[in-house]
Amino acid sequence: MKPPFLRLILIAGLLATAALAILPRLMVATNDGTQIGGAFTLVDHTGRQVSEADYRGKIMLVFFGYSFCPDVCPTTLATVAQAVESLTPSEQNQLAPLFITVDPERDTVPKMADYVANFSPAIIGLTGSPEQIKAVSQAYRVYARKVEEGNGPYSVDHSAILYLMDGKGRYVTHFDPSVTSDRLVAAIRKQLGS
């Protein structure tokens, strides 16, 4: 009786592992690209009010995070910066890499300016009111939740998905944090027809 029971446990474990590997893709994938993204009005890291219309005609790389993020945000933005550097100046002019905060309480305009300057002058930091951030997060199906950690500073649990949007603001695909800059460059060039 023990061998069939062990096989059953092994099969259940393999199925659970496969489900965990597939689940993030299922949560983000759309049928026709219309369910992710949409209108927003935020403030960029220079203090200028912007909307999604300001980026029409450009490919957008959109990542949500926060400046106090200890791991996935800086590594993802470093990958985005490396990809931007690999593009030609003409290709760079057709790209808008956006970093949208999920922590509007701490990520003020000056804080966002300082933070994105660590990666690339091409990366645009966006912040706004809690209501504006909630609305854009919902439009992009981003999960974010403040986590209090005793008397110390809080952290923010959040989705770690990098979206590629076309020149009309429509969802094309997404990448997880393990994406390489070479893969980003290839996807951007494919969208640009380069």
Secondary structure element (H or E) that encloses residue 19, with its range: helix 2-28
Give Cα 91 to chain centroid, integer Å: 20
Look at the pTM and tell me if it is higher than 0.85: no
Tens place of pLDDT per residue across the chain (194 aa):
455 544 544 454 444 444 344 334 334 444 554 489 999 999 999 999 999 999 999 999 999 999 999 999 999 999 999 999 999 999 999 999 999 999 999 999 999 999 999 999 999 999 999 999 999 999 999 999 999 988 888 999 999 999 999 999 999 999 999 999 999 999 999 999 97
pLDDT at site 157: 94
Q: Which two tokens stand for residue 172?
A: 């094309």
State how far the Cα of 150 lies from the Cα of 71, in Å rounded to an integer.
20
CATH superfamily of 33-192: Glutaredoxin (3.40.30.10)
Tell me the domain boundaries of the chain. 1-30, 33-192
Q: Which of 37, 67, 43, 68 is nearest to 164 (CA)?
A: 37
- The fraction of the chain above a pLDDT of 70, given in percent, is 82
State how far the Cα of 114 lies from the Cα of 45, in Å rounded to an integer.
8
